[in-house]
Amino acid sequence: MTDEIAVIGGVDTHTDLHQVAVIDGIGRHLATEAFETTPDGYQRLLDWLRSHGEILAVGMEGTGAYGAELARFLTTHGITVVEVDRPDRKARRDNGKSDPVDAYAAATAVLSGRATGTPKSRDGVVEAIRVLRVVRKSAVKARTQTINQIRTLIVTAPSEVRDKLRDLSTRELIDTLARSRPTGELAGPVCAARTALRRLARRYQILNEEIKDADREIGPLVTNAAPKLVALPGVGPETTGQLLTSAGDNPNRLRSEASFAHLCGAAPVPASSGRTNRHRLNRGGDRAANNALHTIVLVRMRHDERTQEYVARRTAEGMAKKDIVRCLKRIVARQIYRHLPHVTHTTKPLPQTA
């Protein structure tokens, strides 16, 4: 068609239906329609968008949740997908809230340039690592809850149960309880406490084995995906898996090492006032990635000689420990970015001090 116009799509994603809107190059609302979240629905959605003109881009909320499969589908068919943040509260109060309104808002955010983020592709080994880590993380959380429940029950158990268990280490405690054979009537507090503790100990053992199985599965995937990253001081398979997950299968979407630091919440935030000139910790970004950086920093502060020298020097300069940790996180983020797979570095080399 010689008179085909350029259009921009916007999608408000949900579990069963995606609401889609389309606008032209000057922001006029053209149409809106809902499509099922099925392969046929995705194809009808794409055909509907193309019927309005040449698609410049599609803005979408929830590319990491309800819109993940649609984002993969559109990208596969050559459509540029832009990640759109949820509108702020003031915009929602001014414009109202409905699926068509949100879809039009997503398209408008792309047209205005407010939305420029590239979503994770979620189509490679990093996505596989992420999925497996979800199971491992929940197992670790459940194991922690289990041992906490065991120790709480011991505190409140009758003395003939409590006195035999109170001084045991975690491993000894679990082994002892799992091998126990409670006898007596369940109506008695002693027998009930022993039975409950035995069941919790066996649950702990099952969860422990599940975590070990997950580590055996995830470890080789992480090492093969980023061998240079795992080889860095203080960086292990667990922290590498989290940092790879945060960056995604397409880390080139991060334009610089500064953007990666911002993603991880490691970019310094100015906190100066009057004659005080300082920065503070960044409370934003991916908190799981920030926790991984924090773990790496703590390991290096304990075992890495260069990091220990850096800490000693900055301490002698009068810097507080939390500020030293903040600086170290920024340094580690720089090093991690340089060793992410498939990243083309365009920034100037910066000196490494830890």
Please tell me the predicted confidence (pLDDT) of residue 80.
95
Does residue 347 fall inside a structural domain?
no
How far apart (Å, rounded) are the C-alpha atoms in residues 345 and 121? Answer: 20
Does residue 100 fall inside a structural domain?
yes
Answer yes or no: pTM beyond 0.85: no
Please tell me the predicted confidence (pLDDT) of residue 347.
42
Does residue 1 fall inside a structural domain?
no
Task: Say if residue 219 is in the same domain as residue 289.
Answer: no
Task: Say if residue 165 is in the same domain as residue 209.
Answer: yes
Nearest residue to 290 via CA among 265, 315, 268, 324: 265
Q: Are 330 and 337 in contact (CB under 8 A)?
A: no
Does residue 349 fall inside a structural domain?
no
- The DSSP bridge partners found for residue 20 are 11, 33
Does residue 265 fall inside a structural domain?
yes
Does residue 348 fall inside a structural domain?
no
Task: Say if residue 218 is in the same domain as residue 314.
Answer: no
How far apart (Å, rounded) are the C-alpha atoms in residues 56 and 58? Answer: 7
Does residue 57 fall inside a structural domain?
yes
Instruction: Provide the domain count of the chain.
Output: 3
Task: Say if residue 212 is in the same domain as residue 286.
Answer: no
Q: Which domain holds residue 145?
A: 125-225
Task: Say if residue 301 is in the same domain as residue 334.
Answer: yes
Task: Say if residue 88 is in the same domain as residue 190.
Answer: no
Task: Say if residue 13 is in the same domain as residue 107.
Answer: yes
Which CATH number belongs to the domain containing residue 30 in this structure?
3.30.420.140
Please tell me the predicted confidence (pLDDT) of residue 255.
86
Task: Say if residue 79 is in the same domain as residue 140.
Answer: no
Per-residue pLDDT of the chain (354 residues; tens, 9 = 90+): 446 799 999 999 999 999 999 999 999 999 999 999 999 999 999 999 999 999 999 999 889 899 999 999 999 999 999 999 876 566 666 666 789 999 999 999 999 999 888 899 998 999 999 999 999 999 999 999 999 999 999 999 999 999 999 889 999 999 999 999 998 888 899 999 999 999 999 999 999 999 999 999 999 999 999 999 999 999 999 999 999 999 999 998 888 999 999 999 998 878 777 777 777 777 788 999 999 999 999 999 999 999 999 999 999 999 999 889 999 999 999 999 999 987 554 444 433 434
Task: Say if residue 320 is in the same domain as residue 234.
Answer: yes
Nearest residue to 102 via CA among 171, 18, 41, 45: 18
Please tell me the predicted confidence (pLDDT) of residue 350.
36
Does residue 171 fall inside a structural domain?
yes
Pair of tokens at residue 40:
């046929």
Of 225, 243, 262, which one is at a domain's C-terminal end? 225
Please tell me the predicted confidence (pLDDT) of residue 354.
43
Task: Say if residue 232 is in the same domain as residue 270.
Answer: yes
Count H helices and E strands in the chain, helices first: 14, 7
